């Protein structure tokens, strides 16, 4: 049974409900997901947005909720299993060994969204929006759903990808077949073993208001230096990226937003405020055409990894691109 809505403890003006999940294939029961909604929803909404976060992330980006609400859309965000509001002390944060396991909570969330929007007298059409790893998870989900569950897929009308993680950044050797096979082998045997790779805190320091940023969020659910990367989780990501590289058909138009440049740094410096310091934007550009048959890819000058958390001029440009895309695809 899905529990009722209650006030969200992390965000004023938002509500949350728990989505219980079946037994965890990765053996960390009990697990659940959490669906968040903006407490005030438009009367007879034009549709809805379902937002999905990335790795070392959860929903706190109230600006994107306000943006869609102002345009008449009900806004929902999903904290996936073992992430954000769904993370419990007995969980390895974000741990999963097959990205398709997320289909369970994604399907349930989509059903809740369409039922509520319909009950409010609105149109049960849904735009999925996703960031970083969520931008890998959701195209794979839509590609599967298009063929296995066309009725549910029929509620999706578009996909907005915000710096999706489409390939493994770093030295070229990391993307070779032998290294991928090694990651897969270790992941199958010692899935929770940490990958021996130090993560930079530069991105966290560029965002958080206690450091150099303007955003406030929970540093337990989203630590500045990120959660440890495990071999089991990385193997799942590489399998998902491989499937995407082979070509997907998500069945709906997509807008892909990214920065115009990357800048990697071991520690914070002002240059990371106007660049993607997490992913290689050239890789995002390289693989964007593999998502579907109708993809508009836009490089936003001076955007951060999360383009909607960029400096004001860049995020205004990002929202303007969403405006233009929506007017072209849905609101003619």
Per-residue pLDDT of the chain (332 residues; tens, 9 = 90+): 455 999 999 999 999 999 999 999 999 999 999 999 998 888 889 999 999 999 999 999 999 999 999 999 999 999 999 999 999 999 999 999 999 999 999 999 999 999 999 998 888 999 999 999 999 999 999 999 999 999 999 999 999 999 999 999 988 888 999 999 999 999 999 999 999 887 899 999 999 999 999 999 999 999 999 999 999 999 999 999 999 999 999 999 999 999 999 999 999 999 999 999 999 999 999 999 999 999 999 999 999 999 999 999 999 999 999 999 999 997 66
DSSP helix/strand/coil, 55: coil
Q: Can you give the pLDDT at residue 3?
A: 57
Cα 162 to chain center, whole Å? 8
Is the bond preceding residue 30 a cis peptide, omega within 30 degrees? Answer: yes
How far is it, in rounded angstroms, from Cα 320 to Cα 192? 41
Instruction: List phi, psi (to 5°) of 279.
Output: -120, 160
Q: Tens digits of per-residue pLDDT, 84-117?
A: 999 999 999 999 999 999 999 999 999 999 999 9
Q: Can you give the pLDDT at residue 182?
A: 93
What residue has token string 């976060």? 53
Smallest CA-to-CA distance from 48 within 117, 149, 1, 150 is with 117
Q: Which residues have a Cβ under 8 Å from the Cβ of 237 and sit 6 or more positions away? A: 99, 133, 136, 165, 168
DSSP class of 308: G
Report the DSSP pairing between strands 126-131 and 73-79: unpaired
Q: Can you give the pLDDT at residue 332?
A: 60
Q: Can you give the pLDDT at residue 174?
A: 86
CB atoms inside a 10 Å sphere around CB 290: 17
pTM score, whole prediction: 0.96
Q: Tens digits of per-residue pLDDT, 129-152?
A: 999 999 999 999 999 999 999 999
Q: Can you give the pLDDT at residue 43?
A: 85
């Amino acid at each position: 049974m899905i529990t009722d809505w209650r006030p969200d403890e992390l965000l004023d003006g938002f509500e949350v409900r728990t989505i219980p999940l079946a037994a965890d294939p990765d053996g960390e029961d009990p697990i659940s997901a959490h669906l968040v909604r903006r407490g005030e929803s438009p009367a007879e909404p034009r549709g809805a947005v379902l937002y999905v976060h990335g790795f070392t992330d959860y929903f706190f980006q109230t600006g994107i909720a306000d943006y869609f609400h102002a345009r008449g859309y009900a806004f929902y965000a999903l904290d996936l299993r073992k992430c954000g509001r769904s993370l419990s002390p007995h969980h390895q944060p974000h741990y999963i060994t097959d990205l398709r396991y997320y289909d369970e909570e994604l399907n349930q969330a989509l059903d809740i969204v369409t039922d509520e929007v319909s009950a409010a007298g609105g149109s049960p059409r849904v735009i999925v929006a996703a960031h970083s790893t969520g931008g890998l998870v959701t195209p794979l989900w839509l590609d599967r759903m298009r063929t296995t569950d066309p009725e549910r897929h029929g509620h999706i009308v578009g996909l907005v990808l915000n710096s999706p993680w489409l390939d493994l950044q770093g030295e070229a050797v990391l993307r070779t077949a032998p290294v991928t096979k090694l990651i897969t082998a270790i992941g199958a045997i010692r899935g929770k073993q940490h990958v021996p790779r130090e993560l930079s805190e530069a991105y966290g320091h560029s965002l958080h208001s206690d450091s150099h940023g303007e955003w406030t969020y929970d540093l337990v659910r989203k630590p500045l230096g990120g959660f440890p990367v495990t071999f089991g989780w990385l193997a799942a990501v590489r399998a998902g990226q491989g499937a995407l590289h082979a070509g997907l058909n998500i069945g709906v138009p997509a807008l892909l937003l990214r920065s115009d440049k990357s800048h990697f740094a071991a520690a914070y410096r002002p240059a990371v405020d106007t660049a993607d310091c997490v992913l290689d934007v050239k890789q995002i550009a390289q693989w964007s055409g593999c998502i579907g048959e109708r993809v508009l890819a836009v490089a936003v000058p001076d955007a951060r990894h999360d383009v909607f958390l960029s400096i004001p001029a860049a995020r205004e440009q990002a929202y303007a691109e969403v405006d233009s895309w929506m007017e072209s695809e849905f609101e003619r």
